[in-house]
Structure 1
Amino acid sequence: MLARHGQAAITDSGVHGRAVVDKVLAGAAIVEAVHPVAAAALRRRLHPVVFGARQAVFTEGEPGDRLYIIKSGKVKIGRRFPGGRQHLLTILGPSDMFGELSVFDPGPRTSSATTITKVRAVWMDRDGLRAWIADRPEIGEQLLQMLARRLRRTTDTLVDHSGTDVPGRVARQLLVLAHRFGAGEGDTLRVTHDLTQEEIAQLAGAGREATHRALHDFANRGWIRLETNAVVILHPDRLAQPRRTHRPPT
């Protein structure tokens, strides 16, 4: 059973100190182009927390007033559609922020956030963010730009799902994961995603069996190598080819 923030999360006091938080903030979109004094003020408003692997941070439909910035680990953001089918919107890692919409809109959460691995994070509530923005009005514009970029990515994903076949969508998600979590190994790229095939299917907006066939077709072609919780991309240029080349042989 998934435990939630108020139940099983523990604070991270003193384990990863100010230097770690500063490093995380330096890469977070919320402080891009923000004066160091404003970043320091933000740091003072943040509270550390630790979540275990596969733990619910918050659930779609429940009230919320906190945003989170990841220090380490991975979090999946998803929505449940009518009929119970789960769709994953994105996978987040260090320096990524989530839950910020509830800070601006007091309505119920529009998505669920669940850890994939153990996660260290920091959080700030609605009052803390508003006080920070009141002290530094330019931060409001920064947040609007960040939300606009996120909306653009969501629109791109919707277009991709409506106009691309399953192998093409799976290939695109592998490249997205590689951009976010990939590490070079000679001429190859190792992507430690920590996802199940079901979760990869949810990211691609596809069924598990169709996703399984696409992944193994890519492996048989020599484009990727499948490993537990990871994929090694041998030919990223092949994955990036037009969707017609991804279709498995009949």
Structure 2
Amino acid sequence: MIEMLKKVQLFESLNDEQLQHILSIANKQIFSTGSVLFHENEPGAAFYVLLKGSIKIFTRGSSGEEKVLSLIGAGESFGELSLIDGRPRSASAQAVEPSTVLTVTAKPFLELLRHHFDITHHIMTELCRRLRDTNQHVYDLTFLDARTRVLKNLILLANRHGSRIGNKITIRIPLNYDELAQMAGVPKQALSQVLRDLEDRLILSSGSNEYTLDLSRLNG
């Protein structure tokens, strides 16, 4: 398990003894596809580190419509916000494929922040990144057309979750069309049109939960 923790960016500065301490205060949990880890507006009780699988972070509007905010991949952490500010969860988290997480409850998590500045600094940096992403998303929704938003979202997903060989980046995304459209902030029909156009131009190829971008054609 320590070898798995070494692959988590949050813990990359810790030695084996410190990683063993992490394991002593954490619980490993396995969630099946569709399992909800926590709901929006409920009290925050734990912090999570994803070891394997994928977790979507989403909110729901007053009429029940869903908005996917982000896709968490292996090695990433989430759920810290409500533990830090004491407010209810700002979003829900759901496994979109079988997922393994380490769970740290509130009190040990806050103790961890007090004693490990590197971890605290990493979490602060991550929260700042999310705020910048939110600001950029508001700008995109205001000023960018649907096609540009879809392209930008694909590139962002490629940067965070893609595997590159030469000019091609393969992105494994366990999300359906509705969820991808929500992330890009476009109607499902607009997403389908853009993806179909990219495939016709051989910029994009797709398989089951997988997309491959040909950067040489995209730049052209």
Deviation at 1:138, TM superposition (A): 5.9
How high is the TM-score relative to the length of structure 1?
0.79
Per the alignment, in what secondary structure is the counterpart of residue 148 of structure 2? helix
- What is the aligned counterpart of 1:113 among 69, 93, 101? 93
Q: Which residue, out of 126, 129, 133, partners 1:146?
A: 126
Note the C-alpha offset of 1:35: 4.8
Residue by residue over 1:56-109, the C-alpha shift from the partner in whole angstroms, topping out at 9 and shown as x without a partner, is 111111222201000011111111123322211111101111111121133221
Moved more, 185-194 or 204-213: 185-194
C-alpha contact (below 8 Å) 1:24/1:94 kept by paired residues: no
Question: Mean Cα displacement is larger for which, 214-223 or 80-89?
Answer: 80-89
AA matched with 1:18: I
Q: Is the 8 A contact 1:194 1:229 kept in 2?
A: yes
Distance (Å, rounded) in 2 between the aligned partners of 1:78 and 1:177: 16
Q: Which moved more, 1:113-122 or 1:58-67?
A: 58-67
Q: What is the CA–CA distance in structure 2 between the aligned matches of 1:179 and 1:138, rounded to whole Å?
A: 24
Matched, 1:19 2:10: no
- The RMSD of aligned alpha carbons is 2.2
Task: Specify every segment of 5 or more residues in structure 2 that has no aligned partner in the other structure, as ranges.
Answer: none
Q: Which amino acid in structure 1 is aligned with residue 201 of structure 2?
A: R
Is residue 78 from structure 1 mapped to residue 64 from structure 2 by the alignment? no
SS in structure 2 at match of 1:53:
coil
Q: Hey, what's the Cα distance between the residues in 2 that align with 1:137 and 1:186?
A: 38
Q: 1:136 to 1:178 in 2, by over 3 A?
A: closer
* Alpha-carbon distance, 1:148 to partner: 1.4
Secondary structure of the 1:210 match is helix
Q: Extract unaligned runs of 5+ from structure 1.
A: 1-16, 242-250
Q: Percent same amino acid at aligned positions?
A: 25
Pairs within 5 Å for 1:18-167? 18-20=2-4, 22-25=5-8, 27-28=9-10, 31=11, 34-36=13-15, 38-136=18-116, 139-167=119-147
Offset at residue 223 of structure 1 (A): 1.2
- How far does the alpha carbon of each residue in 1:170-198 deviate from its partner, in whole angstroms, 9 at most, with x for none? 11111111112222345422211121111
- Map 1:169-180 → 2, pairs under 5 A: 169-180=149-160
- Contact 1:224 1:235 (8 Å CA) reproduced: no
**What is the aligned length?**
219
Measured in 2, the distance between the counterparts of 1:24 and 1:49 equals 18
In the alignment, the residues of structure 2 paired with residue 189 and residue 138 of structure 1 have an alpha-carbon distance, to the nearest angstrom, of 31
Please tell me whether the aligned partners of residues 2 and 19 of structure 2 are also in contact (alpha carbons under 8 angstroms).
no
TM-score, length-normalised on structure 2? Answer: 0.89
Write the distance in 2 (CA, Å) between the matches of 1:63 and 1:237: 47
Of 154-163 and 177-186, more deviation after overlay is shown by 177-186
